Amino acid sequence: MFRFLSDENVDGNLIHGLSTHIPGIDLVRAVDVGLDHMRDPVILEWAARASRIILTNDSKTMRPFAYAPVAQGLAMPGVFVVPNRPPWESLIADIALILSASEPDEWAGQVANLPFRPPAR
């Protein structure tokens, strides 16, 4: 079962869209679990303990911090880097596809940029 943690800077409209279009999605916001204003390593540690994939729009700092535990052989359930601007439809569709076509452990140790884009020709 997929479980997500959204970083505090993820747009609330996206969170609402995910909750509306993907019934039953298990998604908590960092602010709701006392992680607001926390540094990325703290968020990553909490997500690892809770087995939650992180949704963030902060690729500059989250990406290197996410790979640090992986390099040490520690758990990192995955990070999805999402844009912080609409339109949300393709992003929501990608997350719905991920939920239907993969398992959470397939994303462990990975940082993925969403929405998926086809390779440039």
pTM above 0.85, yes or no: yes
In the chain, count H helices and then E strands. Answer: 4, 5
User: What single-letter DSSP state applies at residue 33?
Assistant: G
Domains, the chain:
4-113 (3.40.50)
pLDDT in tens, 24-77: 999 999 999 999 999 999 999 999 999 999 999 998 889 999 999 999 999 999
pLDDT at residue 118 above 80? Answer: no
The reported pLDDT for the residue numbered 33 is 97
pLDDT at residue 98 above 70? Answer: yes
> Strands 53-56, 79-81: parallel, antiparallel or unpaired by DSSP?
parallel
Mean pLDDT of 72-95: 92
Mean pLDDT of 102-120: 87
